[in-house]
Amino acid sequence: MVAPIIVALGGSLLYGDHDVKTWLGQLRQTLVHIEGNGRKIGIVVGGGKPAREGINLANDVISDRFRLDEIGIAATRLNATILQKMLQEIGCKVAPSIPETTSEAATMFDSFNIVIMGGTKPGHTTDAVSVAFARESGSAHVIIATNVSHVYTADPRKDESATAIEEMTLDELSAITGTESLKPGQSAAVDPIAVQWAKDALLRIGVLDGRDIRRLEDALEGRPFEGTLVRPE
């Protein structure tokens, strides 16, 4: 059996300044097309605005970082439910519940074509979940769809000289992200824990701007895509 395609969809794609309703329709069409071609797909949905706002609100009254992470996880599962219901509505063979672990998610491919999930445990983000999900499903790579075009040499919002990288190794990526885990709700080009897990499993990572459905579609179909390709070596 061909391995499922695993993609992390950043929560910013559901709550950004782009035309989210049109984008959701395009995403739905793309997923129907992939399912029609007999491919299986696993989607890990990020928390976006509800995670950020929930964690911000709770920050004043909750100091325990695991509890704050759990609020973020609840938001990712809310967003996963939105996509899962959208696909159920049009008759896709999508798993009827949101799995709580990546091994449970991988098992669901025995019976379903599409598996949608959110976060799992405190201490990492959905980027890392997607890496674990790929490993459990026998997939050699993961697509991280976010709201930036590439991984940059530095944060382009802070450093004008930052340039986009088209191809790099996981070691080079971890030199940029660092190795320390992110704080609850803190965002980064790619979660350092995801990079470490990808190194351990020798997985490739594709990072791209998911707001442009064509780029996402290229990566999902295994074609060259506009974005950053991160190789194990």
Instruction: List interacting residues with ligand UTP (CB under 6 A).
Output: 10-12, 46-48, 51, 69, 72-73, 76, 119-122, 124-127, 129, 146, 184-185, 187
Instruction: Give the nearest distance from C-beta 146 to ligand UTP in angstroms.
Output: 6
**Matching residue, tokens 């704080």:** 183
Tokens standing for residue 175:
């030199």
In angstroms, the CA 74 to CA 47 distance is 8
Instruction: Give the nearest distance from C-beta 1 to ligand UTP in angstroms.
Output: 27
Nearer to ligand UTP, 29 or 59 (CB): 59
Nearer to ligand UTP, 124 or 215 (CB): 124
Nearer to ligand UTP, 70 or 218 (CB): 70
Nearer to ligand UTP, 84 or 125 (CB): 125
Residue pair 213/23 in contact (Cβ under 8 Å)? The answer is yes
Residue pair 84/41 in contact (Cβ under 8 Å)? The answer is no
**Matching residue, tokens 């782009």:** 18
Instruction: Give the nearest distance from C-beta 7 to ligand UTP in angstroms.
Output: 13
Instruction: Give the nearest distance from C-beta 233 to ligand UTP in angstroms.
Output: 26
In angstroms, the CA 17 to CA 8 distance is 19
